[in-house]
Structure 1
Amino acid sequence: MTSVLILSMPDSGAPPLAAEFAAAGFVVCGESDCAHLVREGLRAAPDVLVCWAPRPGAELFDALATLQAQQSLPVLFFTQDASVEAMERALSAGVHAWVVQGYARERLRPLVHLAQLRERQERALRSRLAELGEQLEERKWVDKAKGILMHARHVSEEEAFQLLRTASMQANRKVGQVSRQVIDAAHVAEAINRAGQQRMLSQRLVKLYALARSRTDGAAAALLMKESVQRVEDNLKTLEAKLSAATYGDLIAAARAGWTGMRKLLETSGRTADLGQLDEAAETVLAQADALVLALEASGLAAQVHVINVAGRQRMLSQRMAKLALLEGPPAALAETAGEFERGLAALSQAPLSTPEIRAMLEQGEAAWRELRAAVPGAAQPAGRMKLAAASEDLLDSFDRLTAAYQHSIQVLIGA
């Protein structure tokens, strides 16, 4: 049997609602006033809410709207208010049958059924609207994911969609879900690459500053310094724009502050900044970039994006190796850096993510690493510094391209 909750405003002419609804075959599960409508509606959970209010006010409509927002149910309303304004407020508050001066015992059952049918129809329309909204969002995700794959893998739109469909079938997930994963993975992969570049650029700038001060190809070093400074700024702006301020804002702000201090030292007129002080500032920038990378790796895609971090760290180590040689760093520091680089090479060689393109890049990187190692002992002489500078830039270029290849790989983007 259909249960009803009755709300009756004070009115000497009100009919015996509870008795007449019970006589009409309904279960009256309670009666309420306006002040307790929401509480009683949620407690009783009736099939239909019946209201009697000759002149309903804003308080009643607000209570109805609050109840409907928490628990949708059919509402049958008897009133003497024939104004359009009241009718509009009633519809907005969730009334399904607004009966003006039309109460009669013989009409109760069809009016309850009318309220139920209208509420059911509204619920179906809301469900359909939500479904269409989800389909539209899914279409947007698919289109965006296709664009990412087309750009990353240089494939056609049809081929990109086929990649999504294949991944969808293999994972037994909707194409829209796989597309969302591609978008999230691309977002995190780019952020890790950019944050990782900040580590490398901190070391590269010290290296270039040292080369410029030693008058070893000063013009080229100055040009590369200018390019590196702009690269740091571009990375910070992109990270600030694309990453969640609530999640990563403090780390990005720290990275910005550290970079501001380092840039002031770099801009010291006449290149008279103390190299030791500049190197300390660079280490601060490196540590802050490392913290951001680690936070990004912990975003839920660690298994896919870790290889980008490893490859990106090799760029930093290539520049640190050259920097230490130019600054005549302690042999232990050089050996430690070389050991880290060798371990990174081994990890990348053993990584399951591998393609002919990536394997070829790894071989080029290993060859460039041998060139850099060979150049380190001659860093005290002008010719040796020139060779060291060239070898470190070649090694950086190799691992820049390798990191980008990992970033845009199908395995990282789709997780296949």
Structure 2
Amino acid sequence: MPRVLLIAPAGAPPIEQDLAAQGVPVIAHSEPPRLVADAVRGEAGVVVAWEPYPAAGLLQAFESLQQHAPLPVLLFTDDADVATLERALRSGVHAYVVKGYDPVRLRPLLQLARARFERDEAQRAAHADLADRFEERKLVDRAKGILMREHQISEDEAFRQLRQVSMLGQQRVGTVSRRVIDAARDADAVNRAGQLRMLSQRLVKLYALRCARADAEQAGRLQVEAARRISEIVAGLGQSLSQATFGDLLEGVDQAWSALQPALQGRPQVDRLPAADAAAERLLVAADALTTALESASPLRTLAVVNRAGRQRMLSQRLAKQALLGALCDGPVAQSAAADAVRSVESFEQALRALQQAPLSSPEIRAQLEVAEQAWRELLTGLGDAFAADGRSRIAVASEHLLDRFERLTALYARAAQSLLERG
């Protein structure tokens, strides 16, 4: 027979002695406020209680017991009220005995409480298993959708891949599916935060082209589109990322973006370029901090490659911006832009070599890298002509071409980082 945790206030029958006579030991006496703690500390197998008219505190204690340390509960009472009976059953009482205390009935009533407890636990486990299976099915459907979209495969093929990796890793399909979903979320967040870095530089580049009247109408349309894209990304990240984890970084991005917007409004003027560029630099720093934090928070090691490819997008726009600032502005601003351009070229070429040597690759990625390198050489060729109107137009075209290449590459790296075989 199980050991008993007894609740027997003054006036109760001699339950402990009667249990002992039946060969059932009482290991401790308890009270409603400490029932859960006593159950956790002790080795009780059943709770026996006597209460003529069960108060709310006792029933709440039983409810907490079932939530934190479930045990069978046998309650003796004088209360025949149906409402009290219903509350007691909802609270986790398994045998509710009204005016029926008799020592000879203790053993069968304990068996009844335990049998009902075991039945309830089996039902609870079945319900939990059903809920888990339903949740797993939702995870599998989401993961299949991601694989179908990113790899252009059928639903059957997506499920086959999930099953294959599940068997290879000896994991449930739901566990593998969650990995796919988490990887897609992390790669997307790093990609979008990285776009903010690029867009901060792109906006100033486009504003400079408008000041130089180089494809000014097209530059104006692209500037509006870039500003709209920043607002969408900032709002989307604010909804999808944890405020507790990334809230301060998101706030920094939002504040920097709010400060940049007024600097780019109105009729473009060269003398406003330095202030606009300084505001864009603050957005760049804030976006870079967020991107780095997102990469660090993810278990996917391959997100470092996604981050690097995304940074190349930013450098494509930053270098074009610096060339335009050097040509349009005077004095320290022009000198600083020229010095920064040298560093941008070095950073871009260093990262390009790292990407070419990165283990995360594919035939499509290698082909895109070759095209991107050609676009990079085109931009370098045009940088020396930034003081001429046609040279600025070539810079505008070449930087857009290079940006497009690295937009595609970043998406390819993000897709590769979500591979089912990723062990990050």
Tell me whether the two structures share a fold, i.e. TM-score over 0.5: yes
Q: 1:95 to 1:246 in 2, by over 3 A?
A: same
Q: Percent identity?
A: 47
Q: 1:244 to 1:34 in 2, by over 3 A?
A: closer
Q: 1:413 to 1:122 in 2, by over 3 A?
A: same
Instruction: Tell me the distance in 1 between the aligned counterparts of 2:137 and 2:69.
Output: 31
Q: Give runs of aligned pairs for residues 141-290 of structure 1, distance below 5 A.
A: 141-271=139-269, 274-290=272-288
1:394 matched to which residue of 2? 401
1:3 aligns with 2:3: yes
Query: Does structure 2 retain, via aligned residues, the 8 Å contact 1:54–1:81?
Result: yes
When normalised by structure 1's length, the TM-score is 0.95
Query: Does structure 2 retain, via aligned residues, the 8 Å contact 1:178–1:414?
Result: no
Letter in 2 for 1:144: R
2:57 matched to which residue of 1? 59
1:368 aligns with 2:380: no
Query: Does structure 2 retain, via aligned residues, the 8 Å contact 1:5–1:30?
Result: yes
Q: 1:231 to 1:34 in 2, by over 3 A?
A: closer
Instruction: Tell me the distance in 1 between the aligned counterparts of 2:40 and 2:147.
Output: 49
Q: Give runs of aligned pairs for residues 83-94 of structure 1, distance below 5 A.
A: 83-94=81-92
Q: Deviations over 1:256-297 (max 9, x none)?
A: 110111111001345466111111111111000100001101
Instruction: Tell me the distance in 2 between the aligned counterparts of 1:399 and 1:44.
Output: 63
Letter in 1 for 2:170: N
Following superposition, the deviation at residue 170 of structure 1 comes to 2.9
Could you say what secondary structure the match of 1:82 adopts? coil
Q: Give runs of aligned pairs for residues 117-156 of structure 1, distance below 5 A.
A: 117-156=115-154
Query: Does structure 1 retain, via aligned residues, the 8 Å contact 2:165–2:176?
Result: yes
Q: 1:352 to 1:225 in 2, by over 3 A?
A: same
2:28 matched to which residue of 1? 30
Q: 1:300 to 1:35 in 2, by over 3 A?
A: closer
2:414 matched to which residue of 1? 407
Following superposition, the deviation at residue 354 of structure 1 comes to 1.1
Instruction: Tell me the distance in 2 between the aligned counterparts of 1:238 and 1:414.
Output: 29
Instruction: Tell me the distance in 2 between the aligned counterparts of 1:264 and 1:363.
Output: 39
Could you say what secondary structure the match of 2:302 adopts? helix
Could you say what secondary structure the match of 1:378 adopts? coil
Following superposition, the deviation at residue 205 of structure 1 comes to 1.1
Letter in 2 for 1:61: L
**Aligned match for 1:99, one of 97, 100, 109:** 97
Following superposition, the deviation at residue 414 of structure 1 comes to 5.0
Q: Deviations over 1:10-52 (max 9, x none)?
A: 33xx432111111112112233444554444444331111111
Letter in 1 for 2:361: S
1:334 aligns with 2:341: yes
Instruction: Tell me the distance in 2 between the aligned counterparts of 1:74 and 1:411.
Output: 47
1:116 aligns with 2:110: no
Q: 1:224 to 1:133 in 2, by over 3 A?
A: same
Instruction: Tell me the distance in 2 between the aligned counterparts of 1:376 and 1:195.
Output: 28
1:77 aligns with 2:83: no
Instruction: Tell me the distance in 2 between the aligned counterparts of 1:301 and 1:34.
Output: 45
2:366 matched to which residue of 1? 359
Q: 1:19 to 1:237 in 2, by over 3 A?
A: same
Letter in 1 for 2:7: L
Q: 1:364 to 1:55 in 2, by over 3 A?
A: same
Unaligned runs of 5+ in 1: none
Instruction: Tell me the distance in 2 between the aligned counterparts of 1:310 and 1:59.
Output: 60
Following superposition, the deviation at residue 166 of structure 1 comes to 2.2
Following superposition, the deviation at residue 304 of structure 1 comes to 2.2
Letter in 1 for 2:363: P
Instruction: Tell me the distance in 1 between the aligned counterparts of 2:282 and 2:320.
Output: 19
Instruction: Tell me the distance in 2 between the aligned counterparts of 1:240 and 1:396.
Output: 26
Query: Does structure 2 retain, via aligned residues, the 8 Å contact 1:210–1:275?
Result: yes
Q: 1:166 to 1:33 in 2, by over 3 A?
A: closer
Query: Does structure 1 retain, via aligned residues, the 8 Å contact 2:320–2:399?
Result: yes
When normalised by structure 2's length, the TM-score is 0.93
Query: Does structure 1 retain, via aligned residues, the 8 Å contact 2:208–2:270?
Result: no
Instruction: Tell me the distance in 2 between the aligned counterparts of 1:119 and 1:377.
Output: 83
Instruction: Tell me the distance in 1 between the aligned counterparts of 2:133 and 2:262.
Output: 51
Query: Does structure 1 retain, via aligned residues, the 8 Å contact 2:256–2:282?
Result: yes
> Which piece of structure 1 moves more, 263-272 or 119-128?
263-272
**Aligned positions, number:** 414
Letter in 2 for 1:197: Q
Instruction: Tell me the distance in 2 between the aligned counterparts of 1:168 and 1:42.
Output: 37
2:312 matched to which residue of 1? 314
Q: 1:45 to 1:277 in 2, by over 3 A?
A: same
Letter in 2 for 1:212: R
